[in-house]
Amino acid sequence: MMRKLIVMIAFLSVAAVAKAQEFKIGYTFLEYIVFNMPEMETISSELETYEAQLGAQIDAKQKDIQTKYAQLQQMAQQPNANQVVLQERENELINLQEQLQKFRAQADQAFAMKQAEKMNPVYAKVQDAIEAVRKENGFALILNSRVAANSAGIVLAADESLNITELVFKKLGVPMPKEEPSGNAAPTGNN
């Protein structure tokens, strides 16, 4: 009876090891692929232009506030300055500063929305290619090798044969960049 139990445990162990070998996990660096897509040059340029436009509007509002503040200081230094007018100008400056802060927040939100509008289709395209490579090569899972810049990521060590990055570039019809992502630096989009 004991012998049958040992044989059964050994058989189940061998079956479990065989089953575990069928569970294939690959990895890639999503951002490296995304930021090396051909359309990223145009997207980066469009986003830089949009950001510059928003920045110019913020600068103009800031300059207006500075001008009005300088005028208020000049008025306040006059010996016969009207305190009611000074208080009105001060309140106007406070209101303009609050409006500037709101505009900055709105500009940040507008930029984030524009960035998502431009980037989401690229991420979707790359994700579709990753999924196709996963299915074609029998992977159960594909992990992102890095989660953020300067991050070791999810994959700390792996067999290079499980890296599907080159396969994804081929699937996308994009040449694999000659320069590999460095260990500590994530692509910035300026590649």
| Backbone region of residue 150 per phi and psi (left: phi > 0; alpha: psi in -120 to 50; beta: other values) | left
- pLDDT (tens digit per residue) in 19-67: 555 788 999 999 999 999 999 999 999 999 999 999 999 999 999 999 9
Indicate the number of domains in the chain. Answer: 1
190 confidence band (pLDDT: 50, 70, 90): very low
Q: Which two tokens stand for residue 190?
A: 């300026």
- pLDDT (tens digit per residue) in 127-162: 999 999 999 999 999 998 876 555 556 777 888 889
Domain contains 14: no
Q: What is the pLDDT of residue 42?
A: 97
pTM (global) more than 0.75: no
Domain contains 153: yes
Q: What is the pLDDT of residue 68?
A: 92
Q: Which domain holds residue 152?
A: 20-172
Domain contains 142: yes
Cβ contact 141:133 at 8 Å: no
